[in-house]
A and B are shown apart, each in its own frame.
Chain A
Amino acid sequence: MSPLLSGAIIATLACYTLAMALAGLRLLRGPSAQDRVLALDFLYVLGMLLVLVLGIRYNSQMYFEVALLIGLFGFLGSAALAKFLLRGEVIE
């Protein structure tokens, strides 16, 4: 891997980390519950992207499946949380 690509990967990971820190700030501070759910939703998308970039970094296809699982379970989690905010219970 050339220094060009590894430098770009490091810069991208730094951007993701900064974005995750900002989203974590919103998660901790967010005035209402839906703000926190939105920040959590954004955090899982960022975590999925982080894993995909790490897959390119370590030249391994295994990371792809991890990213797919994070995407699936993150969607389930935020849908359940939104349903909870709407109704007060997840399964009626």
Chain B
Amino acid sequence: MSAADLVISPLPLWAEALVGLLLLISGLLALISALGLHRLRSFFMRMHAPAITAALGVWAVAGASILYFSLRQGRLELQSWLIIILLAVTAPVTTVLLARAALFRQRTQEIASRASSKSSSGPGTI
């Protein structure tokens, strides 16, 4: 690692500051969405929290990666754009599937609990 550091020249200060700022923003966003996932009360509230990271956090990291490698190689390196596209396509699909599964499970649970309460507690009890 130290030998590689000697070979490659360091980036200008503004570029390193910009890359570091983008990385820090994504780290804070990840922390915010993890706190949301940890603290929010119901499942449908908790579904919102990871979307912050899947949208803006990934954009920030991919932007930092594009900026860093473009300046390092001296040409435009747009590979990380693929990750943005991949997550933009796949994250909503996962969200919709999970929401449908959660709604389905909630409904079947409600029906089951209603049937069991109706059968266990007779019509006279309140």
**Contact residues of A with B, CB < 8 Å?**
1-2, 4-5, 7-9, 11-16, 18-20, 22-23, 25-26, 32-35, 37-39, 41-42, 45-46, 48-49, 52-53, 55-56, 58-59, 61, 64, 67-68, 71-72, 75, 78-79, 82-83, 85-86
Contacts and interface: CB of A to CB of B under 8 A. Distances in A.
B111 interface: no
B28 interface: yes
B76 interface: no
Interface residues of B, number: 58
Secondary structure at the B interface, as helix, strand, loop or mixed, is helix
B26 A75 contact: no
Nearest to A77: B94
A56 B46 contact: no
Given A4-B20, A86-B101, A52 B35 contact: no
Nearest to B39: A22
A71 B100 contact: no
A45 B33 CA distance: 12
Nearest to A31: B43
Contact of B87 (A2, A4, A53, A71): A71
A82 B30 contact: no
A19 B31 contact: yes
16 contacts: A8-B21, A8-B23, A15-B24, A32-B43, A34-B101, A37-B101, A42-B50, A45-B58, A49-B26, A52-B80, A56-B23, A71-B86, A71-B90, A75-B90, A78-B97, A85-B102
